[in-house]
Amino acid sequence: MILFDFGYERAATAEDAVARLARLGCDARLLAGGTDLLPSMRSELVMPATLISLKAIAPEAPCLGAGGSLRIDALTRLADLERSELVRERLPMLAVAARAVGSNQIREMGTLGGNLCQETRCLYLNQRHDYQFAAPCFKRGGECCYPFPRNKRDVCWSVYMSDVAPALIALDASIEILGANGTRRVGVEELFSGSGLRPLNLEPAELLRAVSVPARPARCGWGFHKSSVRGGLEFGMAVCAVSLRLEADGQTCAEARVALGAVRERPVRAAAAERLLAGSVLDKARLAQAAAEAAKEANALPHHGFTKRHLTDNLRVYVRRTLEQALERARKEERAC
């Protein structure tokens, strides 16, 4: 039940949605699947004056572009993404990541773009603030921080929990952002500001239009793991997505991408671990060393009852395992992964 009134408009096209956003200013929000926005409105974390529904815009099916890159409409529902033959064949990691999100119903409703643009979370932020937590926290415009009482600065250490974003970063994807002045294209990583107060680098009148993932080169392998307590219907405890490309000898790493999710205000690239891997001969010891480095540099924020130590240990184990998976896949697969 949403306890306040708001206006409702339907945009006919993506351009129309942007024009409406520009006209209504920052009091308007876009509504796609609604699985993140409506709970936020219910807890009055977000109180838009108008919702601009994207319901009338039919998503384009995923299609192959120049050089074998795959363009996926941001309005594609996660369930359709996970079922798409093209995505499963070309980008199995993305299909697996989409399948790891929420629950069956959440995936049938939620869209790829909505998943990327989701609100950050903490145990206190995403619930109503009118009884247990009467004083608003920093993110709600107040003067306190419930999970970190010694946090006196105006910062928010809530955690960005998309499962799909780390996979897209590991796949080196880029996004198309439609604004009043046309389309701009940036890497997925540049979508995230790193600030819990305002996690996305999107202007008020911008819309995430599509995601493009480049073709996977030869001798390339992937690994993905989402840790959670129940294994379903849950936000991640820590998410690891890795991609490895091997040299022709099948031993040396040409390129490594390690992305970690649900540990900071934004998905984290483990740059030091990637440097350890690139150019070196991959054996178990090397992968374990890189995993330890990744866990350290993630500098995980304690969240939802998981301590920093627990999350660091978790990452050390699961980054190693996903790297081992990726190496195995890279060796097995002659061509694309």
Partner 1 sequence: MLKTDNESRAALKAPAQVVSLCVNGEWSELAVKPRTTLIEAIRDLIGLTGTKASCESGTCGACTVLADGRPVLSCLTLAVECDGMEVRTVEGLAEGDKLNPLQEAFLDHGAVQCGFCTSGMLMSATALLERDPKPDREAINKALEGNLCRCTGYNGIVDALLAASGQPVKARTE
CB closer to partner 1, 234 vs 297 = 234
Minimum CB separation from partner 1 for residue 205, in Å? 14
Helix residue ranges per DSSP H, 127-283: 164-170, 271-277
What burial letters (b/e) apply to 310-334, b meaning 16+ CB within 10 Å? ebbebbbbbbbbbbbbbbebbeebe
CB closer to partner 1, 4 vs 131 = 4
Q: How many CB atoms lie within 10 A of CB 166?
A: 31
CB closer to partner 1, 197 vs 317 = 197
Minimum CB separation from partner 1 for residue 168, in Å? 22
Of the candidates 83, 73, 75, 81, the residue with the CA atom closest to the CA atom of residue 55: 75
* C-alpha to C-alpha distance for 330 and 322, rounded to whole angstroms: 12
Minimum CB separation from partner 1 for residue 46, in Å? 5
Identify whether the C-beta of residue 143 lies closer than 8 Å to the C-beta of residue 151. Answer: no
Pairing of strands 182-187, 207-213: unpaired
Minimum CB separation from partner 1 for residue 14, in Å? 17
Minimum CB separation from partner 1 for residue 109, in Å? 5
CB closer to partner 1, 69 vs 201 = 201
CB closer to partner 1, 138 vs 243 = 138
Identify whether the C-beta of residue 22 lies closer than 8 Å to the C-beta of residue 28. Answer: no
Burial status of residue 289 (CB atoms within 10 A of its CB: 0-12, 13-18, 19 or more): middle
Contact residues: partner 1, CB under 8 A:
1-2, 4-8, 26-27, 29, 31, 34-35, 38-39, 42-43, 46-49, 51, 53, 55, 79, 99, 102-106, 108-109, 139-141, 197, 231-233
Q: How many CB atoms lie within 10 A of CB 10?
A: 15
* C-alpha to C-alpha distance for 72 and 69, rounded to whole angstroms: 10
What single DSSP character describes residue 101?
S
* C-alpha to C-alpha distance for 21 and 287, rounded to whole angstroms: 47
Minimum CB separation from partner 1 for residue 49, in Å? 5
CB closer to partner 1, 78 vs 337 = 78
Minimum CB separation from partner 1 for residue 64, in Å? 26
CB closer to partner 1, 13 vs 183 = 13
Minimum CB separation from partner 1 for residue 241, in Å? 20
